[in-house]
């Protein structure tokens, strides 16, 4: 039996400290079991019926308290993965670093995580020992020591992500004043900030992501070591860092996220090639990136498709252009210079965030098309407009113009072209032919003729 220690009222709500936690009972918060998906409720029910503790936890509790729609529902329990699995028909144990159980339902997948401990020894003496591994920088590489619910709460990243909801009695179990931080809109890391960031530098990004996404303020002690520890991001594996960047850039709050990352010196460790070219806040490059995130955020909010290829194409474009112009000034053709620069910049970037080939290929096509779209005379216009990457490349042209680059009306021309009848399109393309001829005549004799 849990011992009731105290009763008190906050903002008219009754909250009880029970042992190691604050319990917010039914009626004293805005959640109700109906807000939890049927499948997640089912998982909790089955675990509890089998004598285990089970709660809905993490992002879904946070989002529901804020009146937002949760992305998914996670369940935490004191049952070990091998005990969870046999209770559900379509379930499997996955992961090495964190072993969890995936329970598949027809509509959704529920992740069931066993309570874990942040302690190196003690909690799980039988299997302890080598179950938790740490590198010299303090980073955790293996973390399978099981623990109690309060151990589990203290190894979570933020106080607002460490609340446990029991749909059976409609109570919230709060181990770190997460509810208070929700109310005061505060991002606070659990435990000692520097230690927690070193354990897993991705937490630096999570702090920023949730601050931007929720419009919360980063608490002072959490914020303090962030700049100094930014370089620890280099310890994160490139595939994981790539995944995190997608969450950062495609959250619907990409612009706010970008500026926070920039401000905390984190962005330099994500796309280092961009930093030096962004020094001038109002300059073309800053405008380009800012406009790209503004557009992306709008697209996400209106549920339009966005691709990581486009975002990465924008973020790397200033450095690709910069390097390409160096190669060009060494006497290389624009196409060759661009190609060489693109290859080199991508190789460097992929070593930091492992952008898969299915995105790097379209990135290169978008860049190539920036050289090709101005050359639209005769048959070229039609061929270009049928290129599988035309749409993205055209959007990229519009973006460059929005950012303030003067492309001699290129965007408008392509807009008009796409809207024109077939007859008019031919006319437009042949007018380009004539314009091209006129332009060529004015060029000095030794200029290389355009292949048109
Ligand atoms: P989202 O809406 O992005 O899914 P989330 O809070 O659910 O937000 P997840 O990445 O799904 O985020 O993680 C689920 C929970 O696991 C988090 O709420 C947090 O409690 C915990 N968690 C996730 N990543 C970390 C981490 N790097 N360190 C500590 N705890 C973490
Ligand atoms: Mg989640």
Provide the domain limits for residue 4: 1-184
Q: Which ligand sits nearest to residue 201's alpha carbon?
A: 1
Tell me the HSE value of 64 on the side-chain side, using a 13 A CA sphere: 23
Q: Which ligand sits nearest to residue 159's alpha carbon?
A: 1
Regarding whether 70 and 180 lie in a shared domain, the answer is: yes
Regarding whether 180 and 54 lie in a shared domain, the answer is: yes
The pLDDT of residue 15 is 75
The pLDDT of residue 131 is 56
The pLDDT of residue 276 is 81
Instruction: State whether residue 13 is helix, strand or coil.
Output: strand
The pLDDT of residue 34 is 96
Instruction: State whether residue 18 is helix, strand or coil.
Output: strand
The pLDDT of residue 127 is 43
Of the three residues 156, 184, 212, the one that is the final residue of a domain is 184
Regarding whether 311 and 168 lie in a shared domain, the answer is: no
Contact (Cβ atoms closer than 8 angstroms) between residue 261 and residue 377? no
- Residue 56 falls inside a structural domain: yes
The pLDDT of residue 122 is 41
- Residue 320 falls inside a structural domain: yes
Q: Whose CA is nearest to atom 14 of ligand 1?
A: 58
Q: Whose CA is nearest to atom 7 of ligand 1?
A: 59
- Is any atom of ligand 1 closer than 6 Å to the C-beta of 58? yes
> What is the 8-class DSSP label of residue 146?
B
The pLDDT of residue 138 is 74
Of the three residues 167, 184, 201, the one that is the final residue of a domain is 184
CATH of the domain at 404: 1.10.3090.10
Best mutation site among 60, 115, 156 for ligand 1 pocket (most ligand atoms within 8 Å of CB): 156
Q: What are phi and psi of 426, to 5 degrees?
A: -60, -40
Q: Residues 6 or more apart from 321 whose CB is under 8 A from it?
A: 341
Which ranges of 121-234 would DSSP assign to H, the alpha helix? 149-154, 178-183, 193-199, 202-214, 220-223, 226-229
Best mutation site among 59, 187, 195 for ligand 1 pocket (most ligand atoms within 8 Å of CB): 59
Where do we find the tokens 């000034």?
329
Q: How far is the CA of 158 from the centre of ligand 1 (A)?
A: 9
CA dist., res. 335 & res. 333, Å (int): 5
Contact (Cβ atoms closer than 8 angstroms) between residue 262 and residue 271? no
CA dist., res. 174 & res. 163, Å (int): 5
Regarding whether 172 and 49 lie in a shared domain, the answer is: yes
CATH of the domain at 147: 3.30.460.10
Ligand 1 atom showing the smallest separation from residue 113 Cα: 16
- Residue 449 falls inside a structural domain: no
Instruction: State whether residue 76 is helix, strand or coil.
Output: strand
Regarding whether 146 and 32 lie in a shared domain, the answer is: yes
- Residue 125 falls inside a structural domain: yes
- Residue 232 falls inside a structural domain: no
- Residue 376 falls inside a structural domain: yes
CA dist., res. 111 & res. 99, Å (int): 11
- Residue 297 falls inside a structural domain: yes
- Residue 224 falls inside a structural domain: no
Regarding whether 170 and 318 lie in a shared domain, the answer is: no
Torsion of CA 370, 372, 373, 378, to 10 degrees: 180
The pLDDT of residue 434 is 66
Of the three residues 157, 184, 211, the one that is the final residue of a domain is 184
User: CA quadruple 55, 76, 202, 198: dihedral positive or negative?
Assistant: positive
The pLDDT of residue 409 is 93
Record the tokens describing residue 246, joined without a space. Answer: 């997608």
As for how many domains the chain has, the answer is 2
Mean pLDDT by 10 residues, the chain (452 residues): 40 69 93 96 97 97 96 95 96 88 95 85 43 70 79 94 97 95 97 96 98 97 98 97 97 95 95 84 88 95 93 97 96 97 98 98 97 91 94 96 94 94 91 64 47 38
């Amino acid at each position: 039996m849990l011992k009731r220690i105290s009763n008190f009222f906050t903002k008219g709500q009754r909250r009880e400290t029970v042992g190691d936690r604050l319990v917010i009972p039914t009626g004293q918060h805005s959640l109700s079991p109906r807000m939890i998906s049927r499948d997640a409720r089912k998982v909790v029910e089955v675990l509890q019926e089998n004598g285990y503790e089970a709660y809905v936890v993490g992002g879904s509790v946070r989002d529901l308290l804020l009146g937002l729609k949760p992305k998914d529902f996670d369940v935490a329990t004191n049952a070990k993965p091998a005990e969870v699995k046999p209770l559900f028909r379509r379930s499997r144990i996955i992961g090495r670093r964190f072993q969890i159980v995936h329970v598949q339902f027809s509509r959704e997948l529920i992740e069931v995580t066993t309570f874990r401990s942040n302690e190196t020894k003690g909690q799980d003496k039988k299997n302890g020992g080598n179950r938790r591994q740490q590198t010299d920088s303090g980073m955790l590489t293996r973390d399978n020591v099981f623990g109690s619910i309060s151990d589990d709460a203290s190894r979570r990243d933020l106080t607002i992500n460490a609340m446990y909801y029991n749909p059976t009695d409609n109570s919230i179990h709060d181990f770190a004043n997460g509810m208070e931080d929700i109310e005061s809109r505060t991002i606070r890391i659990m435990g000692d900030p520097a230690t927690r960031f070193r354990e897993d530098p991705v937490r630096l990004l999570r702090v920023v992501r949730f601050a931007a996404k929720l419009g919360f303020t980063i608490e002072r002690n959490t914020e303090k070591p962030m700049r100094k520890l930014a370089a620890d991001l280099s310890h994160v594996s490139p595939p994981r860092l790539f995944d995190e960047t997608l969450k950062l850039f495609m959250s619907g709050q990409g612009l706010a996220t970008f500026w926070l990352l920039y401000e905390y010196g984190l962005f330099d460790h994500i796309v280092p090639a961009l930093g030096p070219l962004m020094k001038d806040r109002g300059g073309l490059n800053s405008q380009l990136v800012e406009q790209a995130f503004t557009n992306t955020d709008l697209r996400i909010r209106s549920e339009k498709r966005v691709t990581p290829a486009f975002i990465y194409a924008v973020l790397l474009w200033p450095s690709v252009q910069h390097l390409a112009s160096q190669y060009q000034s060494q006497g290389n053709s624009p196409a060759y210079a661009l190609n060489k620069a693109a290859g080199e910049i991508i190789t460097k970037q992929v070593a930091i965030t492992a952008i898969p080939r299915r995105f790097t290929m379209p990135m290169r096509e978008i860049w190539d098309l920036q050289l090709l779209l101005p050359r639209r005379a005769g048959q070229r216009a039609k061929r270009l407009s049928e290129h599988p990457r035309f749409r993205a490349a055209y959007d990229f042209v519009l973006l460059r113009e929005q950012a303030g680059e003067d492309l001699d009306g290129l965007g408008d021309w392509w807009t008009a072209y796409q809207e024109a009848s077939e007859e008019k399109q031919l006319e437009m393309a042949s007018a380009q032919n004539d314009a091209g001829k006129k332009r060529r005549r004015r060029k000095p004799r030794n200029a290389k003729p355009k292949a048109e």
